[in-house]
Amino acid sequence: MTERPANLPVTITINGAVETHDVEPRLLLVHFIRETAGLTGTHVGCDTSQCGACTVLLDGLAVKSCTVLAAQADGADIVTIEGLAKAGVLHPIQQGFREKHGLQCGFCTPGMIMAACQLLQRHPHPTREQIRHQLDGNICRCTGYHQIVDAIAWAADVLAKG
């Protein structure tokens, strides 16, 4: 019987709220977000870094949170899909998915939107090719991506107009 490693104290800020918990060293960030912090908008699609449904912003960078240990994110500032809407008003990217029908089943949508967040921070006026390139780590099995690209292009226009 191998002795289990001791739990680690971890402090992660998620959408502005500080979460301090003792967690197993092997706990994945996505499970910290979903189960420890109770924010289930971030989805687990594949658990193997392929599908992108678990994408969140970690210190401003889009990461697949199934590929990051909670302990690695100690001290980090995380933004999840729940952190985008302000005072009940959807973020322009969320609104874009609504306007352009950028989803069908919706499972991939949180990851798509968080990946799009990083894209629009880096490239406020992306070409459709740049949008497609940015989404290459996110899999959608419903839409064929067309309306997802439309949704993000719509959001880029809205954000550009301020």
Partner 1 sequence: MDYPLLHAADMPELEVEHFVSPTAENPLGVRAVGESGTIAPPAALAAAVEDAIGGTVRVTRTPLTPPYVRALLRAAAGA
Q: Write out the residues near partner 1 by the rule CB under 8 A.
A: 128-129, 131-133, 135-141, 144-146, 148-149
Q: Can you tell me the distance from the alpha carbon of 96 to that of 76, in angstroms, rounded to the nearest whole number?
A: 28
Rounded to whole angstroms, the Cα distance separating 75 from 156 reads: 31
Cβ of residue 102: shortest distance to partner 1, in angstroms? Answer: 12
Residue among 69 and 156 whose Cβ is closer to partner 1: 156
Tokens 């990851």 -> residue: 111
Residue 97: count of CB within 10 angstroms of its CB: 25
- Residue 33 CA to residue 138 CA, distance in Å, equals 19
Q: Which of 52, 9, 47 is nearest to 28 (CA)?
A: 47
CA 111, chain centre distance (Å): 4
By beta-carbon proximity to partner 1, the closer residue of 81 and 131 is: 131
Nearer to partner 1, 139 or 158 (CB): 139
Least CB distance from residue 129 to partner 1, whole Å?
Answer: 8
Least distance from partner 1 to the Cβ atom of residue 68, Å = 21
Q: At its nearest, how many Å lie between partner 1 and the CB of residue 52?
A: 10
Question: In terms of CB distance, is 8 or 142 closer to partner 1?
Answer: 142
Cα distance between residue 144 and residue 6, in whole Å: 45
